[in-house]
Structure 1
Amino acid sequence: MTEPTTHRTEVVVVGGGQAGLATSWHLVRDGVDHVVLEAHTLGHEWADTRWDNFTLVTPNWHCRLPGYEYDGPDPDGFMTRDEVVAWLAGYAPTFGPPVREHTRVTSLTERAEGGFRVEATGPDGPEVWEAGSVVVATGGYHVPIVPSWAPALDPSITQLHSADYRNAAQLPEGGVLVVGSGQSGAQIAEDLHLEGRTVHLALGDAPRVARFHRGRDCMTWLAEMGLYDTGVAQYPGGLAAREKTNHYVTGRDGGRDIDLRAFAAEGMRLYGMLEGGAGTELTFLPTLTAALDGADDVYRSICRDIDRYIDAQGIEAPPAAPYTAVWEPDTDPTSLDLAAAGISTVVWAIGYRPDYRWVGAGVFDGTGRPTHSRGVTALPGLYFLGLPWLHTWGSGRFLGIAADAEHVTGVITGRKGGARTEPAADLARRRSPGEIASDVALAG
């Protein structure tokens, strides 16, 4: 057996996505010796796990990393998957991070003499890295979730997770059942619907949000209101916010609402939460009406919050256009025969679970998620970045990565002050009248 090559460095960063690269930018700036270990290639998740017609759901101006931001012609637009891949690919060359691609970390353990031992497999064989600090920047979406009873479905039914969905043409002919109405599920259902496929959608409890309200993108309003800068502990329910599903909306074709009621009026079949199944028979909970009403309540609540902000600040904005439901279910269906409905494919869009089994440290809760305060664990020298709601709603997104990375690297180096990240609220306010007028036209 080949003996591993041993290396020593101050910091090991595990993961070369936006979180890992943002961490490296700060460490390079501060002259800290470190390495970024990436199992595949930099930013591969964007190219490998998004479907062909994927677009960002946040405006392009949200795309900001330390020392690097979107500077294209459409700050209020929504980059496609390929545009995001190209934009992110331009980041590393601006500061030269010490990256080792195709190097998969297999083990992280504490060293008796202090610090950590990181074992990995690289292009040339096994490697060992000894470091005083480790930043785990692999995100929180590792293992696609599929129900334990999924193998009991008829083998003639094609099953795939949303991570493996690319386009309608890859699926066999026939109807498609999409399970899950979060961002991925709702957008994949939209993609299939626009391609003319017969779509069935099983809803969870995901809320929705208007794309535009009173002349501006809702996410721009929310950023200006400070929502993306508010720490998770300050939200109602506190840390429970980390378990909430993101609102569904789309950036496709310049951005618009995803209105499942409108899709239903056009022929999409909607159901409540999927309960179970075997063979070709599925059962659902009678939650469809409540799911639609709940999503609409959140939609209206966000619009009212924006209205109050507009009034309080004395902002001139176009009048609100209240949402009116265009479709109501006659009943909440509780069963479906896949064969009788002509459904050939099930797309599971019910999320992921974390997998940190390679981390040999007692910093996890009963669900396998790391316990931390803004990425800093109780074990000195071990940190996490890139997690949803790590600190704010913007954490895990391009908009919040810079501040989180700066905080964690500041703890590592003991640095006080330094380059400060501009709050999202200030970024949102730095918009010209022309840009706001552009929003009005888009919303109109």
Structure 2
Amino acid sequence: MIGGGQAGLAMSHHLGRVGGEHLVLERGELAERWRSERWDSLHFQSPNWNMNLPGWPRMTADPQADPDAFSPLREVTHYIERYAAAIRAPVRTQCAALSVTRRPGSRQLQVQTDGTLYVAHNVVVATGPYQVPRATLALGAGVFELHSTQYRNPMQLPAGAVLVVGTGNSGVQIAEELCRADRRVFLSVSSHERIRRRYRGKDCIWWLIATGSADSTLREWKGARLSRLMTGVNGGHDMDLRQLAAEGVVLLGRVKAAENGRIAIADDLAASIAHGDESLQAFARRCDDAARAQALDLPAAQPPADPLPDPPELHEPIRTLDLAREGINSVIWANGAQAEFGWIDLPVFGQSPGPKRTPVHERGLTSEAGLYFLGLPWLHKWKSAFLFGADEDAAYLAQQIAPRKAS
């Protein structure tokens, strides 16, 4: 196994159950990305009752935990550490895989690390889907820039206003934190979906399971395909861009280009906000339909609260942002990350060159005997890339590997 996060450890659990001899190679410490690529105040975005790795749910690990609470970052990494110890996962930390190749003249695969060459019949790549930050624009000297994976807390930034680019979960949560730390914040809004943190007495994750969305394959999926705005901070609450605007955040459209400290802004803010509003209504309709179809005994749907007023930027959009004039000394690029598989030298990728190339697979199985992928978005279902989705996919791959090992 390459990767000692949730997917690699779930795979270790299932291989251990079928007697499969294996190693888990981790480039840093267990759950390295949770440790080194997340901000300090982050909370797990699913309730404790849904923090489940195979054979060891979060509530089993800590029976005193509130099942409806959201674990802070340190508890997430601690849970993964204790899980690895509980299943006795054979993990080798500080052991980054540098290459995966076919052993010459053999059906075996070989994994080169710094100083050690491992040879195996099977290799499962469980490094996650987000290794490399997406490209950013050159803003010039004098601006402190960092990607959201490098952001830790407001004290990390120099004095002055901050521009946050992107409204996935990272962008909106960081913008909210900076605003409440009395920073002036500009937020470049990208396409997004909205969701209710709680609806009719149940958390949105419960609804994703109840409606069948979590178990949908890409072909079946009819829900949101863009980033959903949610947070587990302060007990979990709805993320509403109008609320952020009411608190002082200046909303912008999508960043198009930059030159000499001036940023060109697309005229798409109103469209992005409208799409988010529509997705919120669609979410409620799906939940209500599921409640009726399954005769669920739940509180009646409450009428929606009166919407907050539109911020002025919706009707008078900012087209150009002058960083110096606005006192913006920091830019946080919350524009996402992507997989990077350039170190795998086997013909299992599509036509796109470089870091954008993606593996061609069927439920994690590739055309190269013995090579598997785990933990990717839509590996099989919507939940595949999430902690609670690792169990099912890992169990399936273990069933494929066991017969091959026996032969």
Give distance in 2, aligned partners of 1:116 and 1:298. Answer: 45
Of 112-121 and 174-183, more deviation after overlay is shown by 112-121
Report the residue type matching 1:358 in the other structure. Answer: W
**What's 2:366 paired with?**
377
Q: Does 1:326 align with 2:308?
A: yes
Q: Does 1:396 align with 2:385?
A: yes
Mapped partners of 1:265, 1:41: distance in 2 = 41
Distance 1:171 1:109, change over 3 A: same
Residue 321 of structure 2, aligned match among 307, 324, 336: 336
In the alignment, structure 1 residue 88 sits paired with structure 2 residue 80: yes
C-alpha distance in 1 between matches for 2:234 and 2:303: 21
1-side partners of 2:183 and 2:40: how far apart? Answer: 16
Partner of 1:248: 229
Q: Is the Cα–Cα contact under 8 Å of residues 194 and 279 in structure 2 kept in the other structure?
A: yes
Identity among equivalent positions (%) equals: 39
Amino acid at match of 1:352: A
1:99 aligns with 2:91: yes
* Alignment RMSD: 1.5
**Contact kept in structure 2, 1:146 and 1:348, CA below 8 Å:** no
Query: Partners of 1:316 and 1:54 in 2: how far apart?
Result: 30
What is the rounded CA distance, in whole Å, between the counterparts of 1:88 and 1:321 in structure 2?
Answer: 40
Counterpart code for 1:321 = P
Does the 8 A contact of 2:179 with 2:247 survive in 1? no
1:114 partnered with 2:107: yes
Quick one: distance in 1 between partners of 2:8 and 2:35?
Answer: 17
| Counterpart in the other structure of 1:298 | 279
Q: Aligned residue for 1:418?
A: none
Secondary structure of the structure 1 residue equivalent to 2:194: coil
Query: Over residues 78-122 of structure 1, what are the superposed CA-to-partner deviations in whole Å (9 max), with x where a residue is unaligned?
Result: 11111111111110111211111111111111122112111111x
Where 1:340 maps in the other structure, the secondary structure is coil
The 1-side partners of 2:96 and 2:333 are apart by 27
CA apart distance, 1:154: 2.9
CA distance in 1, matches of 2:150, 2:284: 34
Distance 2:17 2:360 in 1: 28
**Count of residues in Structure 1 that have an aligned counterpart in Structure 2:** 391
Residue type of the alignment partner of 1:380: A
CA deviation after TM superposition for structure 1 residue 414, in Å: 3.0
Residue identity matched to 1:118: V
Q: Separation in 2 of the partners of 1:46 and 1:80? A: 11
Q: Does 1:135 align with 2:124?
A: yes
**Aligned AA (2:362):** S
1:423-442 → structure 2 map (5 Å cutoff): none
* SS of 2:106 mapped into structure 1: coil
- Cα deviation digits, residues 272-326 of structure 1 (max 9, x gap): 1100112210011100000111011111100111112222233331332315431
Residue 28 of structure 2: aligned partner: 40
The 8 Å contact of residues 146 and 161 in structure 1, kept in 2 or not, is answered as no
**Offset at 1:396?**
1.4
Q: Aligned partners of 1:321, 1:371: CA distance in 2, in Å?
A: 45
Q: 2-side partners of 1:324 and 1:247: how far apart?
A: 21
What TM-score do you get using the length of structure 2 for normalisation?
0.93
- After superposing on structure 2, the runs of 4+ consecutive aligned residues of structure 1 that deviate more than 6 Å are none
One-letter amino acid of the structure 2 residue matched with residue 28 of structure 1? G
Distance 1:316 1:110 in 2: 55
Give the one of 273, 278, 283 matched to 2:254. 273
Tell me which residue corresponds to 1:210.
196
Shift of residue 231 of structure 1?
2.0
Distance (whole Å) between structure 2 residues aligned to residue 82 and residue 200 of structure 1: 29
Unaligned regions of 5+ residues in structure 2, if any? none
Does residue 312 (structure 1) correspond to residue 298 (structure 2)? The answer is: no
Q: 2:349 aligns to what?
A: 364
> What secondary structure does 1:249 align onto?
strand
SS of 1:196's equivalent in the other structure is coil
